[in-house]
Amino acid sequence: MAPRLQLEKAAWRWTESVCPEEVTQEHIEIAYRVRLEPCVRGLCRRNCKGNPNCLVGVGEHVWLGEIDENSFHNIDDPNCERRKKNTFVGLTNLGATCYVNTFVQVWFLNMELRRALYLYENALSVVKAEECIQEDKEYEPQTICEHLQYLFALLQNSNRRYIDPSGFIRALGLDTGQQQDAQEFSKLFMTLLEDKLSRQKEPYVRDIIQNQFCGQYAYVTICSRCGRESKLVSKFYELELNIQGHKQLTDCVTEFLKEEKLEGDNRYFCETCQSKQNATRKIRLLKLPPTLNLQLMRFVFDRQTGHKKKLNTYIGFGETLEMDPFLEQTDIKYAYELSAVLIHRGVSAYSGHYIAHVKDPQTSEWYKFNDEEIEKMEGKKLQLGIEEELAEPSKAAARKPKCAKGIHCSRNAYMLVYRLKIEKMENVDSEIPVFLQKLVELDNCKFEEWCVEMAEMRKESVDKGKAKHEEVKELYQRLPAGADDAYEFIPLEWLQKWLDESTPAKPIDNSKYLCTHGRLHPDKICLMKRISEYSAGVFFQRYDGGPRLKAESLCKDCVVERCRVLRLKNQLNEDYKTIANLVKVTVNSGEGFWIGKASLRRWRQLATEQLGQHQEDEFDQGDLKINGSVEKKEELLETKREDDADTGFNEDIVCQHGCLCTSESERRLISDVAWFKLKEYFPTTPEFRHNQEPCCQCQILEREGERNDALHKKMANDQKLALSNLFQDKNRPSGGSWPQETSELYIVSQFFVEEWRKFIRRPTKCGPVQSLGNSLLLCPHGGLMFSFSTMTKEDSKLIALLWASEWDVIEKHFIVDRTIKITRTTVTADSGVATLYVSEPELCPECREGLLCQQERDLREYAQATIYVHKVVDNKKVMKEAAPELNVSSSDPEDEKDEPLPEGENDPDFSQANGAAKRQKVSIQGQVSYQKQGIRRSTRHRKVRGEKALLVSANQTLKDLKIQIMHAFSVAPFDQNLSLDGKVLNDDCATLGSLGIVPDSVILLKADEPIADYAAMDDVMQVCMPEEGFKGTGLLGH
């Protein structure tokens, strides 16, 4: 089908030969494209918006043919959330709680611990549970033991595929978004659980942690001289084994029990010898628990970085573990079998994912617990291969060693759980208490109700989809309307939504497609589709809406108006060329009309708009020549600005009084012929003949303005001559250059001086300064708010000092509301001659203090201000190889000169920094010397080599700033040494405002040498934060 633009032209081509008065019904139907040929499916690839008879590509392909029932809904099968037979229940990961989920699953599969928790008694919890069951309310356990008890009951008998442990996590006070140390969590939780269970009356419950997990070892010290043995017995719940430098688990245990020699300064004081003697110290295992937890110390402290790192080395461990060789004099056989392996996937100590491989004690089958997903291992064997493949690759990663049968190798296992072998496995009763079973059944009922509700919603969606399918198949065949059939128009947008399975059809709204006559607008035909009257009747009956647009809704008035406009537009193009030639002709004397230059440039656009065409002009304004010369760029830019103004034709030369404007640069003369041609399009436009006088009132105002400009120029020149040094900022008074013969200086506000200088520079643009308001420098009590010692320093931006002769000129030319002066007096005392500076009026100490506090507060409460970070390398220069983008020199030649630092600067970093030295040269004495020479120095900060500007706010922390510096300089936060004015910045939690970092501060950055292992670089956000661990959680009693 032809493109939409071609269809648009074809629909109105008849207007070239038909007058508006001759428009017939046939012309109207052509304009509305009623008789265009419909498109055929297969030949037309997409819907033709220019053809209202094209009903292809509107979304019908989805419904034609057979459709899968699942496409009618987006509801998952609720049975997918149901627990499968003979499988375990998973736990939802709430963000970063995978480390908790792994331990809960390991503890759940410890049958003795599960039984003890089921025997845990709390009369109040039973009563509360019964109330919740009767009232059908959510059960909320009160203690950690009750939470774990309820969690175990759900894990055992829930019908859900996974359950939500948020109540348990909330009771512990854990942050669901922060991953914690899993090994530390295990220790702390076991301690907490033992403390809670120790208050129970039932001995089995009270002693379960001791009986299941607690072992004993002794720290033994033997004197090398007398052989005396000193022993300190201690309990343990897990053995912490160093894996660095080892390949096998047994090697780690051997190192744990290795003898240590105490010699030299570490000699041992022997009670028998009564003196310090050489000795040996070792750990001796005395008793091992039925459940032996072995912590593999993968997460160690790195002294180079000051933070934890993970050791990704392979450790081999067997499915069985003989501990007899590691015990001395024992009658019990300690043969263990592997029951759980806890895995940390990832190379960093601060991120990654935790999963657990746990052996079912009842069936001896292995399962992988990965939060909600639980996978049964094949053949009752532990399979770790895939977990090692999923670990992130590391440059220094070693190849996986070959393992013998029954031996497993892992670089991600961080905890191994071994169970003591028992010849005859006791059947541990794990029957759920009655009240807990009722709670589980209540939860199962809610789950079943949810499943039924979801199934009904799925069925309802499928039924609706099938009905819609039949409706579409039936109606789409009858949708097209023949050339002579009755028809109606409906919106294409509505038709597409009707065919969109995800969007329910709304009532048909045709109101926004109507013209001002209440019929179908011919311009909206591209948004409409012509369909059969039968189909339209079905649509309006089922979906309602309106108004209905039938054949009678074609608007003849709009078509006639469009015909008239198009014909005028064609004539306009011819007239444009004629007028463009006429304005080039020189106007004869005694004739012509004044026309605005802007109106002449855009007359065709204005004419088009008057004809109802609100579209961009098609001609190039740059082609229009006035008096044979092409317009300049400046005129074109001004034309664009003028085009935006809402002014009529020739109104741009009408003054505010309704007469001809005085400015001849904005208007020009054109011939009578050209003017009358334009008048055909603008019959009511303002008309000014060539002999029309400009507005008298505007001329009077212009003459007055010229006189005022002359007066202002004279005034500015007189004041500039009288106060030349003040204008040029030369020979200004200061504390260090007060001549001996001068006893008084006068004070004015710097604002007055700046405003006065503006007037002197541009007297015709800026108004003259009439008065001097010194009251702004005084407090409400009438006292001065500035001390003499600060007037030439930090307060120099607010006040200016004047010589007495300059003050006389000020009083002569300006209205002064208050005189403020400084008097110097010499006083002779015992210690010598002293100089005193007294202000009149005197300083108000209270208000001065308030001003300083306000200034200090303003410096501490900034937002999005600029500070500068200067990188120093080797105490001398910036590392060009590491940061070539920093090698940018200042554009100021004076900044290239090295000058000595002022005395008293002790910071070694600061003294060696090129940029810092350059900045420090602008001292008070330096200002005076420059001022004496008449040099005006810019106060704008100039960046030097190795320096970058950063946008910061006062309330952001130093840690946030370090992150910005890391992105700017590629230096990790833990390698950054920052200082400000000799003060080291090291409190990462402190705000920039509290550290004294104010706008335009220059912070020095010294980077430590990069270390070889940056495995934790991606976790720099966590690394920068001080590690608080489980501070503030329920694991520490909070």
Q: Which residues are catalytic?
A: 98, 353
Tokens of 111: 């049958």
The b-or-e profile of 158-197 (16+ CB within 10 A means b, else e) is: bbbbbbebebbbebbebbeeebbbbbebbbbbbebbbebb
- 275-277/279-287 β-pairing: unpaired
Residue 602 Cα distances to 624, 636, 639, 640, 642, angstroms: 10, 12, 9, 10, 10
Listed in sequence order, the DSSP H helices in 237-324 are 249-256
Distance separating alpha carbons of residues 830 and 838, to the nearest angstrom: 21
Burial zone of 6 (CB within 10 Å; 0-12 exposed, 13-18 middle, 19+ buried): exposed
Least Cα distance to 472 among 502, 506, 498, 507 occurs for 498
Question: What are residue 700's phi and psi, to 5 degrees?
Answer: -60, -45
**DSSP string of 162-229?**
EE--HHHHHHHT--TTS---HHHHHHHHHHHHHHHHTT-SSHHHHTHHHHHH-EEEEEEEEETTT--E
Amino acid type, 538:
V
Tokens of 965: 């510096």
Distance separating alpha carbons of residues 907 and 276, to the nearest angstrom: 48
- Sequence-ordered strand ranges (E) for 518-621: 528-532, 545-546, 549-550, 593-596
Distance separating alpha carbons of residues 583 and 604, to the nearest angstrom: 14
Least Cα distance to 766 among 822, 815, 818, 719 occurs for 719
Distance separating alpha carbons of residues 650 and 688, to the nearest angstrom: 9
Distance separating alpha carbons of residues 165 and 914, to the nearest angstrom: 59
Distance separating alpha carbons of residues 928 and 730, to the nearest angstrom: 10
Element (H, E) at 280: strand 279-287
Least Cα distance to 338 among 666, 551, 109 occurs for 109
Number of H helices, E strands in the chain: 31, 39
Tokens of 618: 């098609």
Distance separating alpha carbons of residues 296 and 410, to the nearest angstrom: 11
Question: What are residue 378's phi and psi, to 5 degrees?
Answer: -80, 145
Residue 728 Cα distances to 721, 735, 799, 967, angstroms: 11, 20, 16, 44
- Do 531 and 487 contact (CB within 8 A), yes or no? yes
Q: Tally the residues of the chain.
A: 1038
Question: What are residue 643's phi and psi, to 5 degrees?
Answer: -65, -30
Tokens of 670: 């054109």
Distance separating alpha carbons of residues 910 and 517, to the nearest angstrom: 80
- Do 491 and 508 contact (CB within 8 A), yes or no? yes
- For the chain, percent helix, then strand, then coil, each to nearest 5? 40, 20, 40
Which are the contacts of 50, defined by CB distance < 8 A and separation ≥ 6?
1, 2, 3, 4, 5, 6, 7, 8, 33, 526
